[in-house]
Amino acid sequence: MKTRLTNARIWNGVDDGLVDGRDVLIENGRILEVGHVRARADETIDLKDRFLMPGLIDAHFHAYWGPANVTLLDQLPMTYLAHHARHLLENALRRGFTTIRDAGGADWSLGRATEEGLIDGPRLFYAGRAISQTGGHGDGRHAHTSTEYCSCRFLGALSEVADGADAVRVAARETLRRGASQVKLFLSGGVISPTDPIHMPQYSDAEIHAAVEEAKSRGAYVMAHAYTADSAERSARLGIRSVEHGNLINEAAARAMAKAGTFLVPTLITYDVLLRQGDALGLTPDQKRKVEEVAGRGIEACRIARRAGVKIGFGTDLAGPMHDQQRGEFRLRAEGDAAIDVLRSATSVNAELVQRAGELGVVAPGAHADLIAVDGDPREDLATLFAGPALPFIMRAGRVVVSA
Dump pLDDT digits (tens) for 303-353. Answer: 999 999 999 999 999 998 899 999 999 999 999 999 999 999 999 999 999
Query: How would you class 85 by CB atoms within 10 Å of its CB: exposed for 0-12, middle for 13-18, buried for 19 or more?
Result: buried
The SS3 of residue 23 is strand
Render pLDDT for 205-233 as a digit per residue (tens, 0 to 9).
Answer: 999 999 999 999 999 999 999 999 999 99
- pLDDT over 60 at 152, yes or no: no
pTM of this structure: 0.95
Task: Tell me the Cα Rg of the chain.
Answer: 21
Distance CA 147, CA 153 (A): 8
Yes or no: say if 319 and 65 are a contact pair by the CB < 8 Å rule. yes
Q: Which domains does the chain have, with CATH numbers?
A: 2-54+361-403 (2.30.40.10), 75-326 (3.20.20.140)
Yes or no: say if 123 and 61 are a contact pair by the CB < 8 Å rule. no
66 φ/ψ angles, rounded to the nearest 5 degrees: -80, -70
The SS3 of residue 316 is coil
H-state helical runs in 74-120: 78-93, 108-115
Distance CA 323, CA 328 (A): 10
DSSP secondary structure string for all residues of 118-145: SS---EEE---SEEE-TTSTT----TT-
- pLDDT over 50 at 256, yes or no: yes
